[in-house]
Structures are given as C-alpha cells and as structure tokens.
Structure 1
Amino acid sequence: MTGVKDQTSERHWLDRIREKPGGRLAVKITVTVLGVAVIVVGAFLIPLPGPGWLIVLAGLAILALEFHWARRLLAFARHQLDRWTGWIKRQSLLVRAVIGVLGLVFVAAVVWASVKYSLGVDLWREARDLTGW
C-alpha cells in the first residue's frame, strides 16, 4: 500500500511541474539527459564485475517516467529476467553450479582483458611469476 501512495505522490509532483509554463519540456529534457547519462555509465560498467546491467535498467526506469517506449522496453527486460531466474531455479544443483562457474570464468576473463588492455598488466603472467609456475 505504501508503494502505491508513494508512486501517486510522485506522479502528482511531476504533474504539478508539467502544469507550469515550460514545465512539460523541462521534465522531458531533465528525464532524457539523466536517463541517458545513467544508461551510458551502466553500459561502460557492463563488462566489469558489478552492477552494470542494474545501472542500465535504472537509467531505463528513469526514461520510463516520460517515454512509453522505455516503459515497454523495461517491461520486456523484467519479463526476460523473470524467465531466466525461473529457468535457473528449476535446474538441478549441478546445472546451476556449471552456470555459476562459467559466469565466474567470464568475469575473470573480462577483468583480465580490462586490466591488460587498459593498464598493460598481464595478470595471468604476473600470477605465474609470483607462484613460480
């Protein structure tokens, strides 16, 4: 019940701004700039370990305040995420473990490539040198 009340008061607050001269345009511009900026930051963070996709979805949620296409895309993304998590939950422990290990390998590869190509440090070689392999 609290979520509905908060959403209603937020809508009312935005509607009050939209009713003022130039308010509709100001809200649209602000939402667009902020939403796109958040999506761009999230897109840069996607290959790194962390909440890159979550930040992209947050930017999409900001855009959804003003744009119908963003609301539809956000609904589609939520539906796909629900499908994926539902599928994962139905799998055996072995399948979930394999998916988890593959995810960790992917993240490790992305971190390795990011460090190698941005800082010029080969973590694999450094680890081998430290351990004496």
Structure 2
Amino acid sequence: MHRNPHTSAVYRTLVGGLGTAVVLLGLVLVPLPGPGWLIVFCGVAIIASEFHFASRLLHWGRLRLEAWSRWVRRSHWSIGALLGLATCACVCGAVWLSLHLTGVPGWTPGWARQLLLLP
C-alpha cells in the first residue's frame, strides 16, 4: 500500500481523519461520565499508526500515566480515597447537571426526582 504514493496519501488521510474524529469525540465526552480520556488516547493511537508526531505524543501520555499511577500507589491510602471521592462527586455532578438540563425521564419515580432536587 505504501509503495503507491497516491494510495499511501489516501490511506494516511483516512487514518488521520478517523483518528481526529475519535479524538474530538473523546474531548467532547471528557466532562461527561464515561471514558472520555480513554477515547482520546484511542484516537491518538489511531493517528500514531501513521504519523510520527502522534506516536511521540502517545509515548509522552503513557509516561505521564505511569508516573501518576506510581505516585498514587506510593501515597497514603487517604489520597486514593480522596481521589475516588472527587471522581465520584464529578460524575454525580455531571449526571445531575445533564438531568437538570435535559429533563428527567417520565419513568423516573417521584422520590428520585425529590432526592435529586429536580423539577
């Protein structure tokens, strides 16, 4: 495929476009509950299969993730607990905000609406 310059250019363009679309989707999903950053890294990995700059970026990201993981493992258990609570609070806040902005589904029981302080 890479022997033919036209085919190689088309392939690289498709890979770059697909990877960019996946990265953009992941960035949109970052503030929402779910695997936003994982999707961003998957998009960078797609781009890295054909582009050297993305390969370097992916390597840098892996090093940062490993350093973060080592730091969390070496720290006191309370740091891990605080990180878990902060993550839970962010997810709960994002769910509450999305329900507040989009409305609560009709099948939701009344007590759940009252619990979430939603109309």
Aligned mate of 1:127, from 75, 90, 114: 114
- Structure 1's 30 and 129: CA in aligned 2 closer, same or farther, altered over 3 A? closer
1:24 alignment partner in structure 2: 8
2:99 alignment partner in structure 1: 115
Moved over 2 A (4+): 127-130
TM-score, scaled relative to structure 1: 0.74
How large is the RMSD of aligned CA atoms in angstroms?
2.0
TM-score, scaled relative to structure 2: 0.82
- The farther-off stretch of 56-65 and 20-29 is 20-29
- 5+ residue gaps, structure 2, are 105-111
Residue 126 of structure 1 aligns to which amino acid in structure 2?
R
In the TM superposition, residue 126 of structure 1 has moved relative to its aligned partner by 1.9
- 5+ residue gaps, structure 1, are 1-16
- Structure 1's 85 and 71: CA in aligned 2 closer, same or farther, altered over 3 A? same
- Structure 1's 93 and 129: CA in aligned 2 closer, same or farther, altered over 3 A? closer
Q: Which has the higher helix share?
A: 1
Count of paired positions = 110
Residue 39 of structure 1 aligns to which amino acid in structure 2?
V
Pairs within 5 Å for 1:23-102: 23-102=7-86
In the TM superposition, residue 20 of structure 1 has moved relative to its aligned partner by 2.4
How much identity, in percent, do the aligned residues show?
39
In the TM superposition, residue 129 of structure 1 has moved relative to its aligned partner by 7.7
- Structure 1's 89 and 33: CA in aligned 2 closer, same or farther, altered over 3 A? same
